[in-house]
Amino acid sequence: MMAACETVRGFWDRLLGRCFRNFPCLSDRARRSSLGLKAVLVLLHVVFVGVLYLLDTDLIRKTREMPWYMGAYLLLVLATLVQYFITAFSSPGYVIDAMAAGSEMHTTHVNSSRNSMQHASRNGTLISSLNNSQLGRNNPRMNSSYWLKLVMELYPPGSSSRSWTCLYCNLIQPPRAKHCHDCNKCVLQFDHHCVWLGTCIGKGNHCRFWWYIFAETIVCIWSGVLYISFLRSDLMNVWWKIMIVVVLFIGLSLCFIFLLLLLLFHTFLVLTNQTTYELVRRRRIPYLRGIPERVRPFSKGICRNLYNFCCSFDSIYNLEAVPTLEELEERARSYTCTDILTCRCC
């Protein structure tokens, strides 16, 4: 018996080793867990939709009579899965990438300035100037000093640089950035780490995340309508069919409640230009401690917040400064009738 177990274990280890060699991404336990959750989520969509077609024979007839109706439903499910994978594999915007982008812009600006100043110089002098610029691009000390100067302008005067430095990455964090322990990177405008997506939600993919949970909520509502119509039909005359449909409908209802609350919560965050981390851990963020809780320091009005979230074509590496004391006092001022008439909140 022990010999048989050892043989099976050896075969299993060899099989896993061959699998890890062919697919290196599976050798990481965290990545395996992320891929497993993605497979589970896709399987849930297939089960909830497939059971309807397997048990509800009337649904197939409706599909033939009204192909546009069920075609739109299946297209929505497919679009939701596509949006899920787009969000899962999109970058939330990392501080290290923002540093590289800022250094590249700085180097490009320096090169263009030197080229314009030495346009009339001899070729040898011009090549020497360009070589010096190239050396500056590859100098990490020059890049880090430029990044420190850039970040210092985003914080209020007198702030301590110790609170800006990440204890894990040793990087200078701009406002609203935070280190994610799951990704082991500092994320711009960090919101949270989503286990189901296997990635952080930050400045680069928060909009995609909102549209994903919006589409998922619509799928739950549409699926719930189909399940209710199936439960009320004359085909529900077998007890095991009733049990399967009822269990799935209860699970679908719980998913809908969770998604609806999540959608409303993130809609509130979008309208007020906040993140989950800033809302939950506000007292732990040094530059937000002295600000009253009713004041949304980064809010620019509902309309401007919506535009920046959905329609802005600015780079995700455009950093946001902490508001000045005058701006915070203006936002803390109580609303008057004039403010309401002039749509100050927008």
Does a structural domain hold residue 140?
no
Rg, C-alpha atoms of the chain = 27
> pLDDT digits over 228-260, tens only?
988 887 766 777 888 898 999 999 999 999 999
Whether 139 is in a domain gets the answer: no
Q: How many whole angstroms separate alpha carbon 126 and alpha carbon 132? A: 10
**CA triple 80-248-45, angle to 5 deg:** 20
289 is a domain residue: yes
Helix axes 239-272, 29-55, angle to 10 degrees: 130
Select, from the ranges 139-153, 233-247, 266-280, 291-305, the one with the highest average predicted confidence (pLDDT): 266-280
Helix, strand or coil, per DSSP, at residue 334: coil
Average pLDDT over residues 130-150: 58
* For range 86-106, the mean pLDDT: 86
Residue 170 lies in a domain: no
Residue 279 vs residue 104, higher pLDDT: 279
d(CA 184, CA 179) in angstroms, rounded, equals 7
Q: Confirm whether 8 is domain-assigned.
A: no
Q: How far apart are CA 171 and CA 180, in angstroms?
A: 13
Instruction: Give the number of other CB atoms < 10 A from CB of residue 48.
Output: 21
Q: Is the pLDDT of residue 300 over 70?
A: yes
Query: Would you say residue 50 lies in a domain?
Result: yes
- The answer, yes or no, to whether residue 97 has pLDDT greater than 70, is yes
Convert 158-209 into a string of H (helix), E (strand) and C (coil): CCCHHHCECCCCCCECCCCCEEECCCCEEECCCCEEECCCCEEECCCCHHHH
Residues 6+ apart with CB under 8 A from 136: 107, 110, 142
Residue 118's pLDDT is 58
Q: What is the pLDDT of residue 88?
A: 94
Model pTM above 0.85: no
- Residues forming a β-bridge with 172: 165
If residue 306 lies in a helix (H) or strand (E), which one and from where to where? helix 302-306
What is the number of structural domains in the chain? 1
Over 90: is that where the pLDDT of 75 sits? yes
Please give the residue that has the higher pLDDT: either 111 or 61.
61
> What is the extent of the structural domain holding 304?
24-91+202-318
Q: Does the pLDDT value for residue 106 go beyond 70? A: no
Is 176 inside any structural domain?
no
- Residues 50, 44: Cα–Cα separation, whole Å: 10
Higher pLDDT, 342 or 256: 256
Among 26-35, 93-102, 286-295, 332-341, the least confident range: 26-35
pLDDT at 134 (0 to 100): 44
Tens digits of residue pLDDT in 150-200: 888 898 887 777 778 888 988 889 999 999 998 899 999 999 999 999 999
Pick the residue with more confidence: 284 or 59?
284
Count CB-CB contacts under 10 A for residue 126: 15
pLDDT band at 16 (very low <50, low <70, confident <90, very high): very low
What percent of the chain has pLDDT above 90? 36
User: 152: Cβ–Cβ under 8 A, 6 or more apart, which residues?
Assistant: 161
Burial class (CB in 10 A: 0-12, 13-18, 19+), 98: buried
What band does 135 get if pLDDT is binned at 50, 70 and 90? very low
194 is catalytic: yes
Q: Which of 180, 194, 220, 255 is catalytic?
A: 194
126, part of any domain: no
The mean pLDDT of the chain is 80
Other CB atoms within 10 A of residue 114 CB: 16
Give the containing element (helix H, strand E) for 110: helix 95-117
Q: What's the pLDDT score for residue 13?
A: 55
Output phi, psi for 194, to 5 deg.
Answer: -90, 120
